[in-house]
Amino acid sequence: MSASVKQVPTSDLAVGMYVSRLDRPWLETPFLFQGFTIKSPEEIQQLQRCCEYVYVDAPDRGEQTSARGRAAPPNAPRSWRSRLSRLFPRLGAVLEKAEPGEAVPGEFYNDTANLAAELPKAKEIHSDASALLIETMEALRKGGKPDTQALESAVSPMIESLMRNRDAMTWLSRIKRTDDYTYGHSVSCSVYAIAFGRHLGLSKDDLKVLGLGGMLLDVGKTQIPKELLAKPDSLSASEMELMRRHVQFGEEILKDVSSINRQVVEMVRSHHERYDGSGYPEGLKGPDIPVFARIAGIIDFFDAMTTPRPYAKPVSIYDAMRELHSRQDTEFQSEMVDHFVKAVGMFPNGALVELSSGEVGIVVEQNRVRRLRPKIMVILGADKQPLKDFTTAELRELPSEMGDPGAVWIDRGLEHGAYGIDPAEYFL
């Protein structure tokens, strides 16, 4: 252990300390991202509830700098509750009733169908939306106009499916891909935008805006040469400049569509703006970025990271969430990131995971209370060879403390396709 790392009882913690390790598996606590600066008394209370002691890296480090290298805030609770309340009044009503440090689940809509029942319906809806989007994009490449009414008619069934079950459609978005990244990415952005809006308790009218906006985020790429979109190497400065113009092209395509909601256009125009002003095309900052565009930026970034692209391999959902977390209040608004993590889950249904036993499985049922203890279908043994008979591990019923006999926990998330596994082969 480094000389700068000290074991500290949680009763002795203070705001500003940098927690580098816990006394138990990190994923078995509410703190999903390893290594963080304590920012509020509420975080200390959370640590005290789940740990006897933690390891602090240079106790004064956090007072000088945060994990991202920026000045840490003073000893005051974050104002995320009040800020989110102003953005989403329905969510605010729940936040006001929550005690400090209490997890707010975002339960505004109840599932009316289980995953198994909804999957066949969701599969058909997802396939129809993908086919329509491909047809629309190809027409635009040939100089046509977007049929936004047809696209809206494809978004509505997606909303209804996500209302019946929050997981089926997002599962398909992770495992069902068209050959063209742009098409698959566009449908997935629509699905994630709706799922995020559902979590925030937005109205169905708002969900329609989010769904259509997500689907059209990259509509401007129809004006970019296909060979540039498929280029596996780094882009030159001039190529990057042209690629960035897809935002402008998208706005130009939509500006003459009189029936389209202006918030959809805002999502297309501003989904590459960043909270700290580092984005494009206008360098908007903080609240100057429209709310739905802030949502769009997060879902666009997340889906891109977890999807195979010509120039990059996908990362696991867990690693993508860690990356989003590292960009809180720099590129992305902190409150938005926090709730996106809750909306999608660190280990959602269909995610591949490796257990502490070395076995590999697929998440088949989330645990909404203990979100890091889902039900796993184990398909590879510790030797990474396929099992003849798949077993199901209900992690919430198994010991989780290191040192306990039979203890099992999720060791890490795996990227889609790891060990040659395609979840679609097991469930669809």
Q: What residues are paired with 309 via a beta bridge?
A: 312
Are 39 and 15 in contact by the 8 Å Cβ rule? The answer is: yes
The per-residue pLDDT for 396 is 82
Q: What is the DSSP string of 327-360?
A: TBTTTB-HHHHHHHHHHH-SS-TT-EEEETTS-E
Question: What is each CA distance from 24 to 27, 28, 47, 141, in whole angstroms?
Answer: 9, 7, 11, 54
46 membership: H or E segment, kind and range: helix 41-50
Per residue of the chain (428 residues), give pLDDT as tens: 555 788 999 999 999 888 888 887 665 666 655 567 888 888 898 889 888 999 887 644 433 333 333 333 333 334 455 666 666 666 655 555 544 444 444 557 888 998 889 999 999 999 999 999 999 999 999 988 888 899 999 999 999 999 999 889 998 887 755 556 677 899 999 999 999 999 888 889 999 999 999 999 999 999 999 899 889 888 999 999 999 999 999 999 998 888 899 999 999 999 999 999 999 999 999 989 999 999 999 999 999 998 888 788 888 888 898 899 889 889 999 889 888 988 888 888 888 899 989 999 998 887 766 677 888 999 999 999 999 888 888 888 887 766 677 888 888 888 878 898 877 777 65
Q: For residue 36, what is the DSSP state? A: E
The per-residue pLDDT for 399 is 79
Are 167 and 279 in contact by the 8 Å Cβ rule? The answer is: no
Q: What is the largest CA-CA distance in the chain?
A: 66
Q: What is the pTM of this model?
A: 0.78
Chain position carrying tokens 């040939």: 142
Sign, CA dihedral 279-282-288-294, equals: negative
Side chain identity, residue 335? E
281 membership: H or E segment, kind and range: none
Q: For residue 10, what is the DSSP state? A: G
Question: What is each CA distance from 51 to 22, 26, 112, 258, 388, in whole angstroms?
Answer: 7, 10, 37, 57, 39
The per-residue pLDDT for 303 is 93
Q: Name every residue whose Cβ is closer than 8 Å to that of residue 53 and which is 6 or more positions away in sequence.
A: 7, 8, 9, 10, 23
The per-residue pLDDT for 330 is 93
CA 207 from chain centre, in angstroms, equals 17
The per-residue pLDDT for 254 is 94
| All structural domains of the chain with their residue ranges | 5-78, 119-344, 352-427
Are 102 and 369 in contact by the 8 Å Cβ rule? The answer is: no
Q: What are phi and psi of 407, to 5 degrees?
A: -65, 135
Between 1.10.10.10, 1.10.357.10, 1.10.3210.10, 2.40.50.460, what CATH number should domain 119-344 receive?
A: 1.10.3210.10
- Write out the two tokens for 370: 């203990």
Torsion angle of the four alpha carbons 396, 397, 402, 407, in this order, in degrees rounded to the nearest 10: -130
